[in-house]
Amino acid sequence: MPMAPVIPIRRTVPAASVQGSLALDLTPRLDPPDARPATACQRRSDVVSVEPGERMALDRFAHAFLVRATEIASGDRPVTQLLRQSAPRVYDDLARRARLVSAAAGTLPSRGRGRGAVRPVLRTMRTSLVSSGALEASAHVRYGARSRAIAARFEARDGRWQCVALEWA
């Protein structure tokens, strides 16, 4: 039986000398690494205006809350430290996360995970004052080579700011 002729589907295209390669800079870095976390806050997305001093205080509060929340969720800090700044649903979720991580690591919640454990580092944070009584924040957290995103909503309740929603991604 004679073979049918093979019909090429594609034309051959000449390959460039850099086709399929990445533009990488392979020169060695001689500067020491930056040891401090690169935390940055942006205020461009505010819906309402507020005094700069008050705005800085809100940013400090949100930053401190998110740092504590990541340390609680990783089992390195007791959940009771955010009792007054958290709505009951947020507090219960943080406590549940701390219990799950501690159980997986074979430790007790809030006692830390021991030496050599990867600690979370809050790298960047962005906040937006969406009303006079509501602040929303998003953060990038690094756990060694892994990253997570956190979104939080804070509302002014009874004369203090309280986290009413906390989402992890």
How is residue 135 annotated by DSSP? E
Question: Alpha-carbon torsion 111, 140, 130, 44, what sign?
Answer: positive
Q: Which residue ranges in the chain fall short of pLDDT 70?
A: 1, 8, 11-26, 29, 33-44, 108-116
Give the pLDDT of residue 107: 72
**5 Cα distance to chain centroid:** 59
CA distance 82 to 68: 8
Structure tokens, 164: 């009413």
The stretches of 34-87 forming alpha helices (DSSP H) are: 52-73
Give the pLDDT of residue 42: 43
Give the pLDDT of residue 120: 86
Cα distances from 154 to residues 47, 50, 58, 110, in angstroms, run 15, 16, 10, 24
Structure tokens, 117: 């454990």
**End-to-end Cα spacing for the chain:** 62
**pTM for the complete prediction?**
0.70
CA distance 96 to 12: 59
Residue 5: enclosing H or E segment and its boundaries?
none
Q: What is the dihedral of CA 75, 40, 168, 110, to 10 degrees?
A: 10
Cα distances from 97 to residues 7, 19, 101, 163, in angstroms, run 60, 47, 6, 16
**76 Cα distance to chain centroid:** 17
Using only C-alpha atoms, what is the Rg of the chain? 24
Residue ranges and CATH numbers for the domains of the chain are 52-168 (3.10.450.100)
